[in-house]
Every structure is written in C-alpha cells, then in structure tokens.
Amino acid sequence: MRYIDSIVTAPEERILHRARLHWTIFLRPSSILTLFLLPLVRWLTCEAVVTSRRIVIASGWLTRYTFEMPLSRFESIRIEQSIIARLLGFGSVLVVGVGGGRQQFAQMARPLAFRRATELAVREAA
C-alpha cells in the first residue's frame, strides 16, 4: 500500500488527482547503481496527491518526507517548464500556502493537470 493511500482514511476524503515523477528521471545516470535502481526507487516512492480536503506531497523509502496542506490554506501554485519540459510533458511545481508554507515537486509528470485539479478542489471546498 502506498503511503498516501494509507493516510486517506476518512470516508468523506477522496483522491481527486495523483501525480508522479516523469520518466525523464531515468536519463541522468552517473554510475551503474544510479543507472536504474536509484531512479526507480525515487519514481516508486515520490508522489503528489490532491484530495477533497488537502494537498499531500510524499517522498522517500527508508526515510520519508511528507508535506500536507489543507485546501483552506492553499494560496497559489507555480509551474516552471523549459522548452524541453513542455514538449515532454513535465515540470517543476511549487505549492504555496497562506503564511509562507511552500513545497516544490521537481520533474512532475503532467504539472498542468495537477494545477487544474488543485484549483478545482479548492473551488469545491470553498
């Protein structure tokens, strides 16, 4: 079971959108170990989710890092894409909350879909 699936347990909370890393994380090998194993672990353990109540970004296998923001604290979302990133369909997403809370998710696949899902969830929650 994925970490995010294990924390979305309230009956009124549902997952609206799930974002993953883009396959381009496999294109930066620097040794045999990082050729496939480390990017695969990263790809399997990093995800961002928009639920009907919050935004959750989680990463890590042996150690875990999570960022959770209630939709009521959401302020804005910023997407950065180079020309290549736009053509291949990935980008860096920065989620900003009221009071300065912020979290970046680099190399997210389909970042515009994540933004649309976030904006829709915020409107529905209001």
CATH, residue 37: 2.30.29.30
Q: What is the pLDDT of residues 99-119, one digit of tens each?
A: 888 999 999 999 999 999 999
Mean predicted lDDT score pLDDT of the chain: 89
Write phi, then psi, for 74 (nearest 5 degrees): -70, 135
Mean pLDDT of the region 48-61 = 92
Structural domain boundaries enclosing 102: 3-125
- Cα(32)–Cα(34) distance, integer angstroms: 6
The amino acid at 34: T
The tally of domains found in the chain comes to 1
Report which of 101, 41, 37, 38 is spatially closest to residue 71, judged by C-alpha positions: 101
pLDDT (0 to 100) of residue 10: 80
- pTM of this prediction? 0.86
**pLDDT, mean of residues 52-76:** 92
pLDDT given for residue 7 in this prediction: 81
